[in-house]
A and B are shown apart, each in its own frame.
Chain A
Amino acid sequence: MIFILIIILFANIQAQTNDPNEIVKSVITKFSQVNDYEVDIDIKVDVEFLRVPESRAKLFFKQPDKVKLKSEGFALLPKDGIDFSPSSIIKGNYTAIFERKENLNGVQTSVVKIVPINENTNIILSTIWVDDKNSIIRKVESTTKTQGTYTLELFYDNDFKYPLPKQMIFSFNLDKMNLPQTFTNTTPKSSRRRFKDGPVIGKVYVNYSNYKVNKNLSDKIFEEDKD
């Protein structure tokens, strides 16, 4: 009798952990302990036709979706990678489908597909890899209507207090840009330079450090700069 009860209980737990809505909810609940944060970021852009120096900036976040990038110099982040909060990745109405269990870089994850129901969203389909033990997103792969496919990989400290990553790698496909020919610096080398046809793979590496979490950030920080 006890044996049967254990089997039923175990089966129930398995069913719960394979419930995609529960998995998504657990991630959002886990992240809800972060009301706001401020973090220093180091950005390295690796795109064939975009040469940008490594930069430092500050990123501010406040629930539910306020994000602000500030830097004394020039800093650039992918639009889809600036906010890694679950509510940003999984926004609007959606249908969640449990795909499989997968060992991702030594971490047991549940792979869940998110299909947005709202037609206005730019995302067609997202796949998220959720850390079963910590209820955090380890990886996101999204296919968009206009920007192709991008992948977001999130890496965390082993003993993190808040579900905030220490590093993000944002990979994306980008079509060659039709650049305006005004003010173009045409030199013999640039005239000879030819990029291969088709979309190119770009990567942006973002390292996060010096998190200041739940310091009750003012809304003024998120207002548009008046310049």
Chain B
Amino acid sequence: MLDLISIELYKIFKKWRTYIGFIALGVLVPLIHIAMVLEGKNTINFMTRNIQESFVFVGNLLNTYLISYIILTSLAIHIPFLITLVAGDLLAGEATSGTYRLLITRPISRTKLIIVKFIAGWIYTNLLVFWLAFLSLVVGYFIFGTGELLIIDGQMIVIFERTDVLWRFLLAYGFATLGMTAVASLAFLFSSLVENSIGPIISTMAIIIVFVILSAIQVEFFQNIKPYFFTTHIMSWRLFFEDPLDLKEIFKSAANLLAHIVVFFGLTLFIFKKKDILS
């Protein structure tokens, strides 16, 4: 099994498109860091201008935690695109290059093949989120240092102690991985249906965009079905920045995402097992 996963990972990382996500984040996050070095104080002043009218405060609020939080907020709905670039190609790529038939004539079952490809896609997803975490938190640490995390939680200003933040980020990135795996599963499902990876990429992004737009429309009907959209729960990493933690909501979101992953993976498996390979 491990050999098969290594082979799939080798195939993934042999393609240059795999590196687009890493390069994009590798450019974008340092750009945000540079912008924050130059303009970060204004951002802090903007966020705290109401407090400053009544209070005097000291401390390093412009720190790696705040910047990582801003980056995660900004990118959590854009990273899915980078995920689909690879996940949408996992099966369709085999069809495009004409290696489907060759692949399934090997002495491994279709079930095993799907599992291996899914795990390889999941590893890529994890690596991309890990890369984001590394660039945001670790590189940010050397530029800005640590400090208290200031966030605006609805109508409240919440400041977390510096010793109370890192674990929240680790869990938030972990949860972001779960959300991105759901996206990868959807792209993987579409990838099993077509013979060109452009289709799965566009379809997955179209679904995400449609769900995000529907969620944003303040009409009761859409607000009622919003909790069932997986896109709603992709952003649930924010729940780790509440005090106290809303465990019920966290588990609900995690269960929703897991259910989507299981259903998308199950459908992929079902479709692929029934698939008539003609290419």
State the A residues within 8 Å of B (CB).
49-53, 57, 69-71, 73-79, 82, 146-147, 172, 174, 176-191, 193-195
For B260, the chain A residues whose CB sits under 8 A away are none
Main secondary structure of the interface of B (DSSP, over half): mixed
- Pairs A–B under 8 Å by Cβ, sample size 26: A50-B156, A51-B243, A69-B57, A69-B58, A70-B58, A73-B148, A74-B59, A74-B60, A75-B57, A76-B55, A77-B56, A78-B54, A78-B56, A172-B54, A177-B157, A180-B46, A180-B49, A181-B152, A183-B70, A185-B151, A185-B158, A187-B239, A187-B249, A188-B249, A189-B246, A194-B155
For B58, the chain A residues whose CB sits under 8 A away are 57, 69-71, 74-75
Assembly CA distance A195 to B154 (angstroms) = 11
Cβ–Cβ contact B155 & A50, under 8 A: no
Q: How many A-B residue pairs have CB under 8 A?
A: 122
Cβ–Cβ contact B242 & A189, under 8 A: yes
Assembly CA distance A177 to B249 (angstroms) = 27
State the B residues within 8 Å of A (CB).
46-47, 49-51, 53-61, 69-70, 73, 147-148, 151-162, 164, 236, 238-239, 241-243, 246, 249
Cβ–Cβ contact A74 & B70, under 8 A: no
Assembly CA distance A57 to B59 (angstroms) = 10
For B246, the chain A residues whose CB sits under 8 A away are 187-189
Minimal Cβ-Cβ distance residue in B for A188 = B249
Quote the shortest CB–CB distance from B155 to chain A (angstroms): 6
For A76, the chain B residues whose CB sits under 8 A away are 51, 55-57
For B51, the chain A residues whose CB sits under 8 A away are 50, 76, 177
Quote the shortest CB–CB distance from A178 to chain B (angstroms): 7
Minimal Cβ-Cβ distance residue in A for B55 = A76
11 new A-B contacts at CB < 8 Å, known A76-B55, A178-B50, A191-B154? A51-B158, A69-B58, A71-B58, A73-B162, A74-B57, A75-B59, A78-B56, A185-B153, A187-B249, A190-B155, A190-B156
